[in-house]
Chains A and B, each alone.
Chain A
Amino acid sequence: MTDYLAQTAVLLAALWPKLVAGFLITVEIATAAAPLALVFGLVLLAPRMDRRVFISGPTVAFVELMRNTPLLVQIYLIYFGLPVLGFFPSEFACGVAGIALQHGAFLVETYRGAIESVSVRQWDAARAIGMSRLAALRHVILPQAAMKILGPLGNQLIVLAKDTSLVSAIGVMELTMTGKLAIERSAASAEVFVAIALFYLALTTVIGGVMRALEYRVAGRF
């Protein structure tokens, strides 16, 4: 048993620099894609909530498409499709774009849910003192929606961090890909992936912790 542990330790120690390098790429992908997704979701929010069907319709269609097809296929579409049109973005860019598009679509629904969950009585109160719909939105509804969004947002970011592993399918040297390559050179495959799993666990735990702390600070008021 100790023999086994010693061997595994040696193996992982040798692999360590590569694993860390892969982990950093993973973090890079996530930090690139997350803000893009957040912004993209905001951009889609206004058309999504527009009352005119010819504006909200296409947005809804796009969101439904993203929700009902696998992210992997979306990434493949971008990676294999753009060269046909004459664009040759890097694998990294394709991966980030795919993740940002899918998560942006999910975030629109999260944003919408938060806004609609602010009680209609708040609208009543704001309008009763003479606020226009826009002023009510700006000063009463959106601030409250922003506070309600932290929980779902945290969960979404964790999923995003995990989704970076898919980019290994198009060859980006992030953590999972590093694992695949390492396997081909050594025998201790399962152990390598256990180590990789622990890296991801650390990442998602940190994200979760930070978001919860944020929620706690903000929610303290009400």
Chain B
Amino acid sequence: MINVLVTNLPYLLRGALVTLWLALAVVSLGTLLGTGLGILATGGSRVLRAVVTVYIFALRGIPVLVVMFLGYYAFPALGVRVNAYVAVGVAQIVYVGAFTAEIVRSAILSVHPGQAAAARSLGMRRGAILRAVLLPQARRIAVAPLLNNALTAVKQTSYASVVGAWELTYAAREIVERTLASFQIFLGVMAIYFIICYPLSLLARWYEKRLVVPH
């Protein structure tokens, strides 16, 4: 019964590896992008703030799958030839970036305004205020949502299979269509995803609790 899963495990694990690479790239670059944008969204330039707000609003209202399709078809349309991974990866980075930007933006804004006021009255300028006062405090608030965001991004790498990029879910579907052992394979794949995601989930939960206690 479970033989199917065992024999195909190496193939699935190769897929899992691809998933992990994809997830790592997307989460790190997406979070980086989003953090930068989120900080810009709290800055002085009204134009920048508006642009980032529109960006966040647009991407949060569209399914990630559609963004992936857009990425997949936009590159060739612009004359650039990229492989599926880059297309899907860039799309997801942009997507994760939007959600990250929103988290970072609201974390910075939720730091008590008195803090920035106090720093300014000491003569500090914007850059220093951000570095020394706002970001350290915003970081505490943002960690848990960012971890949850990362968790979602990892799960969303599976959608790349729909656009045609080969990773764990794609591999699973290949095997099922060949062997028809849907339960064993998909449950096995769920287990693999669970093993990848659960630690992240626990970490996010732990940080959530940490935030509540000091208050």
Nearest CB of A to B55, in Å:
13
Q: Which residues of A lie under 8 Å from residue B197 when comparing CB positions?
A: 67-69
> Contact between B198 and A165 (Cβ–Cβ < 8 Å)?
no
Q: Which residues of B lie under 8 Å from residue A180 when comparing CB positions?
A: 69
> Contact between B77 and A68 (Cβ–Cβ < 8 Å)?
no
Query: 0/1 per residue, A160-172, Cβ < 8 Å to B?
Result: 0011111011000
Task: List A168-203 residues whose CB lies under 8 Å from chain B.
Answer: 168-169, 176, 179-180, 183, 189-190, 193-194, 196-197, 200-201
Q: Is A205 an interface residue (CB 8 A)?
A: yes
Q: Is A71 an interface residue (CB 8 A)?
A: yes
> Contact between A69 and B155 (Cβ–Cβ < 8 Å)?
yes
Q: Is A80 an interface residue (CB 8 A)?
A: yes
> Contact between B70 and A190 (Cβ–Cβ < 8 Å)?
yes
> Contact between B66 and A176 (Cβ–Cβ < 8 Å)?
yes
Partner of B159, one of A67, A72, A194, A205: A72
Binds A, one of B26-34, B104-112, B124-132, B168-176: B168-176
Majority secondary structure, A binding face: helix
Task: List B181-197 residues whose CB lies under 8 Å from chain A.
Answer: 182-183, 186-187, 189-190, 193-194, 197
- Give A196 to B159 CA distance when docked, in angstroms: 17
Q: Is B143 an interface residue (CB 8 A)?
A: no
Inter-chain CB contacts under 8 Å: number: 118
Q: Is A14 an interface residue (CB 8 A)?
A: no
Binds A, one of B3-11, B42-50, B57-65, B133-141: B57-65
> Contact between B61 and A84 (Cβ–Cβ < 8 Å)?
no
> Contact between A162 and B62 (Cβ–Cβ < 8 Å)?
yes
- Give A123 to B62 CA distance when docked, in angstroms: 41
Q: Which residues of B lie under 8 Å from residue A205 when comparing CB positions?
A: 61
> Contact between B201 and A80 (Cβ–Cβ < 8 Å)?
no
Q: Is A35 an interface residue (CB 8 A)?
A: no
Partner of A193, one of B70, B156, B183, B201: B70
> Contact between B69 and A193 (Cβ–Cβ < 8 Å)?
yes
Nearest CB of A to B188, in Å:
10
Q: Which residues of B lie under 8 Å from residue A162 when comparing CB positions?
A: 61-64
> Contact between B186 and A73 (Cβ–Cβ < 8 Å)?
yes
Q: Which residues of B lie under 8 Å from residue A65 when comparing CB positions?
A: 190, 194
Number of interface residues of B (CB under 8 A): 38
Query: 0/1 per residue, B150-169, Cβ < 8 Å to A?
Result: 01000110110110000001
Query: 0/1 per residue, B87-131, Cβ < 8 Å to A?
Result: 000000000000000000000000000000000000000000000
Task: List A126-141 residues whose CB lies under 8 Å from chain B.
Answer: none
Q: Which of A70, A74, A76 has the most CB of B within 10 A?
A: A70
> Contact between B182 and A80 (Cβ–Cβ < 8 Å)?
yes
Q: Is B73 an interface residue (CB 8 A)?
A: yes
Known: A76-B186, A163-B63, A179-B69. 5 other contacts (CB 8 A): A76-B173, A162-B64, A197-B70, A200-B63, A204-B62
B positions within 8 Å CB-CB of A? 58, 60-67, 69-70, 73-74, 76-77, 151, 155-156, 158-159, 161-162, 169, 172-173, 176, 180, 182-183, 186-187, 189-190, 193-194, 197-198, 201
22 contacts between A and B (CB under 8 A): A64-B194, A68-B155, A68-B197, A68-B198, A69-B190, A70-B156, A70-B159, A73-B158, A73-B169, A76-B173, A77-B182, A81-B183, A84-B183, A158-B60, A158-B61, A166-B63, A168-B65, A176-B69, A183-B73, A193-B70, A193-B73, A197-B66
A positions within 8 Å CB-CB of B? 64-65, 67-74, 76-77, 80-81, 83-84, 158, 162-166, 168-169, 176, 179-180, 183, 189-190, 193-194, 196-197, 200-201, 204-205, 208
Closest 6 CB pairs of A and B: A80-B182, A189-B73, A165-B63, A68-B197, A70-B158, A204-B61
